[in-house]
A and B are shown apart, each in its own frame.
Chain A
Amino acid sequence: MLDFLHANLSYILSGISVGGQYALIAIGYTMVYGILRLINFAHGDVFMIAGLMMVYLSTALPVTVAIPLVLVMTVVLGFLIERAAYKPLRTAPRMSVMISAIGISYLLQNAALYFTGGLAKVYPAIPWLSQTVTIWGSTTKMVTVVTPILTLVLVVLLTLLIKYTKVGMAMRAVSKDFETSRLMGIRINTVISVTFVIGSFLAAVGSVLYFTNYASVTPVSGSMPGLKCFVAAVFGGIGSIPGAVIGAFIIGIAENVIKGGTSIFGFGGSGWTTFSDAFTFALLIIILVVKPTGLFGEKATDKA
């Protein structure tokens, strides 16, 4: 057992690491869904834009200044997207908002295509995070170790915020019943903005970690991680934060375990890696068929 773990540690390590990065993005999906019942398709692209901002800012500024600036600018971007594209559609049918989100997603991708000229940009090496470390015989980057820890810390902080602060209480109320909480005097727009601010902040942190590990940003860099995180959110039960985090870790680890199938399961050949993505989406179908509410999802009650 120990030998087996030792031999395959690097797969598991990279799975945990990518799982943590997925978790940070998945929280953004799940929170927005919890409050607005909106699947924010632009979220993956906000994550990509955060990566691009870092690429451009780091050419002019030291990393210690660039990282906070990226976090702030991504938060502003998330806030502005909500105000410009979702708020005017508050009373419109849910489908319109979703289509607006898809529009924003393509707008961001194409803006990135325009600014980068379509070529992959190399993400800057962040001094401490990009360092190589050796853990029990497997070599990896420092970020692999930092990611799960940082993710857990942020999730705990977020949970505390939702449980014990006034705005957290308002968020819970809004997600329970949008109209009633509005009647109770909760400033709905502020609560929604805060949700987007938190989601974008976590996506920005996720992008710093993710691109430090996979150091190349393209206009479509956000779409695949975005889709997988959406699956993670659905898997964990969309609307539930712990669910999204656990879903993301499961998907990240399973993906890498499958890629290492030959070594881990002891047989097979080239087939394993081919199906690593297929697994994620097969999981989506299975969970929708077997348990549509996901692992921790609330029971669907029609409030109409």
Chain B
Amino acid sequence: MRRHQGPYLEDRIKKMEERDNMKKKLVAILLSLALVASAAACAAPAATDTTAAEVPASGNPVVKIGIYEPASGDNGAGGKQETLGIEYAHSVSPTVEINGMTYDVELVKVDNESSNDKAASAASTLVSAGVSVVLGSYGSGVSIAASPTFEAAGIPAIGITCTNPQVTEGNTHYFRVCFLDPFQGTVLANYAFSTLGVKTAYCLSKLGDDYSGGLVNYFVKAFEALGGTCVQDTFPDGNSDFTSYVNNAKNSGAEVFFSPVSTEAAQLIIDQAESQALGMPILAGDTWDSNVILQAAKGKSVDVTVTTFYPEGANAEFDTGFKAWVSADATRLASNGGDDTVAAVTAMGYDAYYFALEAIKKAASVDPAAIMAALWSTTYEGVSGPIALDQVNGDAIRNTAYVKHANNETGMWDALPPVTIG
């Protein structure tokens, strides 16, 4: 009996196993299909977030402007505020006249995730979307990383608040509407040496970060030229323990703490400065001009001073317009850090949008090459001051930096006298 049953049973088992396997396979295939479908459904609007339809109701032709900004990562908060400035400008002027024809401006947004390795693919997304000109990015590192992609595509890019000289150096397609780090570093060094009257500075930057590393470098040069001494430290990516850095600053005999790092690290530094009783003023560059810093410093015994592009209150019309626009929508308000503070980067984003429109008008074309040629001689009177570019690198000619001090009681910026050099 057994001899007869053996193969029969084996056969049964085999068949059952096969059926079981098939079922499993089917489930796996169905599951992965569902995943792919849902991913596609999510990814499609997320990758390129267009604010206007391909063919708008007005029937006007369309000119596309790319927004190359971080919406997440270290610089997500700042990138979102800069994007808000561009979007506000777009809501005020959604069209542009080219050769007597009205074009609708369409904004194409990508998130470069504040990451140098994501920069190229984010930039390619804009290139394949067919944008005529790109605005951004907040953060010099990502701008430098995306530069070759824009160059290869022949699309001009306008840096809004990326202050590292390397962004525009030695190329003809990257422009910039803000001041540069050699200037900002000098302003900060002068402020520390002359106004604060300190002789030793502790400088902290992030390892491998073009922005903070560059700015510290220029600060050190200017500060040592004045006769001061600097103690330098760096922290690695992903670090959130700043206790020892605060201790290093205290032990080094420094009298000022200079840390022009991302706002994400800034929160932690302010927090540790308070709990470790740093006991010296903290100085930083334009990134710290953010309500993230104000919220972190509120109610704490820290002394934070920053240099920036635009002080709130300088242009009442822009300020009130923006505040009303941002308060009208909960998502915008959240992107602005939960209140209606006007960040300098927002004003710069606003100016950059109009500067780009001026260039498009001047070029009388939506062709990227024509806009690139026109940008060199474009001028615009912005809320942050007049914008005209030098003819070497395409950088804005600016000689004023605004100085702000965080008020720990009100949680607002107190304006200090602006610094003009040259």
Contact surface of A with B, Cβ cutoff 8 Å = 7, 10-11, 14, 18, 113, 117-120, 122, 130, 132, 138-141, 213-216, 218-221, 223-224, 255-256, 259-260, 262-263, 269-270, 273-274, 276-277
Please pick, from A7, A18, A139, the residue contacting B241 in the complex, using a CB distance under 8 A.
A18
Contact string against A for B residues 274-304, beta-carbon threshold 8 Å, 1 for contact and 0 otherwise: 1111000000000000001001100000000
Please pick, from A10, A118, A139, A140, the residue contacting B71 in the complex, using a CB distance under 8 A.
A118
Structural contact, A117 and B244, CB atoms closer than 8 A: no
Structural contact, A260 and B71, CB atoms closer than 8 A: no
User: How many inter-chain contacts with C-beta < 8 Å in the A-B complex?
Assistant: 113
Quick one: closest B residue to A257, CB to CB?
B244
Structural contact, B72 and A117, CB atoms closer than 8 A: yes
Given contacts A10-B276, A215-B271, A273-B233, contact A262 B264 (CB under 8 A): no
Quick one: closest B residue to A132, CB to CB?
B275
**Which of B130-138, B152-160, B246-254 has 4 or more CB atoms under 8 Å from chain A?**
B246-254
Given contacts A11-B244, A120-B267, A139-B276, contact A274 B295 (CB under 8 A): no
Structural contact, A270 and B276, CB atoms closer than 8 A: no
Q: A117-B71, A118-B113, A262-B251 are in contact. List 17 more A-B contacts (CB 8 A).
A: A7-B251, A10-B276, A117-B334, A119-B80, A130-B275, A139-B276, A139-B277, A215-B267, A216-B268, A216-B271, A256-B243, A256-B244, A260-B247, A262-B252, A270-B233, A274-B234, A276-B239
Given contacts A11-B247, A122-B295, A256-B244, contact A277 B239 (CB under 8 A): yes
Compute how far the CA of A139 lies from the CA of B184 in the bound complex, rounded to whole angstroms: 33
Compute how far the CA of A273 lies from the CA of B56 in the bound complex, rounded to whole angstroms: 55
Given contacts A216-B267, A216-B268, contact A262 B232 (CB under 8 A): no
Compute how far the CA of A274 lies from the CA of B207 in the bound complex, rounded to whole angstroms: 7
Structural contact, B72 and A273, CB atoms closer than 8 A: no
Interface centre among B76, B247, B251 (most CB of A within 10 A): B247
Compute how far the CA of A256 lies from the CA of B233 in the bound complex, rounded to whole angstroms: 14
Given contacts A10-B243, A120-B267, contact A139 B275 (CB under 8 A): yes
Quick one: closest A residue to B271, CB to CB?
A215
Structural contact, A118 and B73, CB atoms closer than 8 A: yes
Chain B interface residue count, CB cutoff 8 Å, equals 42
Compute how far the CA of A27 lies from the CA of B234 in the bound complex, rounded to whole angstroms: 31
Compute how far the CA of A273 lies from the CA of B241 in the bound complex, rounded to whole angstroms: 11
Quick one: closest A residue to B250, CB to CB?
A10
Nearest Cβ in chain B — how far from A141, in angstroms?
5
Compute how far the CA of A218 lies from the CA of B374 in the bound complex, rounded to whole angstroms: 42
Structural contact, B295 and A269, CB atoms closer than 8 A: no
Quick one: closest B residue to A224, CB to CB?
B238
Please pick, from A122, A140, A223, A276, the residue contacting B267 in the complex, using a CB distance under 8 A.
A122
> B245 an interface residue at 8 Å Cβ cutoff?
yes
> B96 an interface residue at 8 Å Cβ cutoff?
no
B295 cross-chain contacts in A, Cβ below 8 A: 122
Quick one: closest B residue to A116, CB to CB?
B72
25 A-B pairs whose Cβ atoms sit less than 8 Å apart in the complex: A11-B247, A117-B71, A117-B76, A117-B334, A118-B72, A118-B111, A119-B77, A120-B77, A139-B275, A139-B276, A213-B241, A215-B267, A223-B238, A224-B238, A259-B248, A260-B251, A262-B248, A262-B251, A263-B247, A263-B248, A270-B234, A273-B233, A273-B234, A273-B235, A273-B248
Structural contact, A215 and B268, CB atoms closer than 8 A: yes
Structural contact, A259 and B244, CB atoms closer than 8 A: yes
Compute how far the CA of A218 lies from the CA of B233 in the bound complex, rounded to whole angstroms: 24
A14 cross-chain contacts in B, Cβ below 8 A: 241, 243-244, 247
Quick one: closest B residue to A225, CB to CB?
B240
Structural contact, A220 and B238, CB atoms closer than 8 A: yes
B277 cross-chain contacts in A, Cβ below 8 A: 132, 139
Contact surface of B with A, Cβ cutoff 8 Å = 71-73, 76-77, 80, 111, 113, 207, 231-236, 238-245, 247-248, 251-252, 263-264, 267-268, 271-272, 274-277, 292, 295-296, 334-335
Structural contact, B231 and A269, CB atoms closer than 8 A: yes
B71 cross-chain contacts in A, Cβ below 8 A: 117-118
Compute how far the CA of A113 lies from the CA of B268 in the bound complex, rounded to whole angstroms: 20
> Lowest 5 CB-CB distances: which A-B pairs, in order?
A118-B72, A259-B244, A224-B238, A14-B243, A139-B277
A223 cross-chain contacts in B, Cβ below 8 A: 238
B113 cross-chain contacts in A, Cβ below 8 A: 118
Please pick, from A11, A119, A216, the residue contacting B240 in the complex, using a CB distance under 8 A.
A216
Nearest Cβ in chain B — how far from A159, in angstroms?
28
Quick one: closest A residue to B279, CB to CB?
A139
Given contacts A119-B77, A139-B277, A269-B232, contact A214 B240 (CB under 8 A): yes
Please pick, from B77, B80, B236, the residue contacting A274 in the complex, using a CB distance under 8 A.
B236
Quick one: closest A residue to B240, CB to CB?
A214
Nearest Cβ in chain A — how far from B208, in angstroms?
10
Nearest Cβ in chain A — how far from B165, in angstroms?
22
Quick one: closest A residue to B296, CB to CB?
A122
Quick one: closest B residue to A121, CB to CB?
B267
Nearest Cβ in chain B — how far from A57, in angstroms?
18
Nearest Cβ in chain A — how far from B183, in angstroms?
24
Compute how far the CA of A29 lies from the CA of B234 in the bound complex, rounded to whole angstroms: 30
Nearest Cβ in chain B — how far from A223, in angstroms?
7
Structural contact, B245 and A273, CB atoms closer than 8 A: yes
Nearest Cβ in chain B — how far from A106, in angstroms?
13
Structural contact, B247 and A221, CB atoms closer than 8 A: no
Quick one: closest A residue to B263, CB to CB?
A120
A221 cross-chain contacts in B, Cβ below 8 A: 240
Compute how far the CA of A273 lies from the CA of B113 in the bound complex, rounded to whole angstroms: 26
Compute how far the CA of A120 lies from the CA of B267 in the bound complex, rounded to whole angstroms: 9
Compute how far the CA of A14 lies from the CA of B241 in the bound complex, rounded to whole angstroms: 9
A218 cross-chain contacts in B, Cβ below 8 A: 264
Compute how far the CA of A113 lies from the CA of B219 in the bound complex, rounded to whole angstroms: 35
Quick one: closest B residue to A139, CB to CB?
B277
B271 cross-chain contacts in A, Cβ below 8 A: 214-216
Compute how far the CA of A214 lies from the CA of B266 in the bound complex, rounded to whole angstroms: 11
Nearest Cβ in chain B — how far from A225, in angstroms?
8
Nearest Cβ in chain A — how far from B112, in angstroms?
11
Structural contact, A259 and B72, CB atoms closer than 8 A: no
A269 cross-chain contacts in B, Cβ below 8 A: 231-232
B231 cross-chain contacts in A, Cβ below 8 A: 269-270
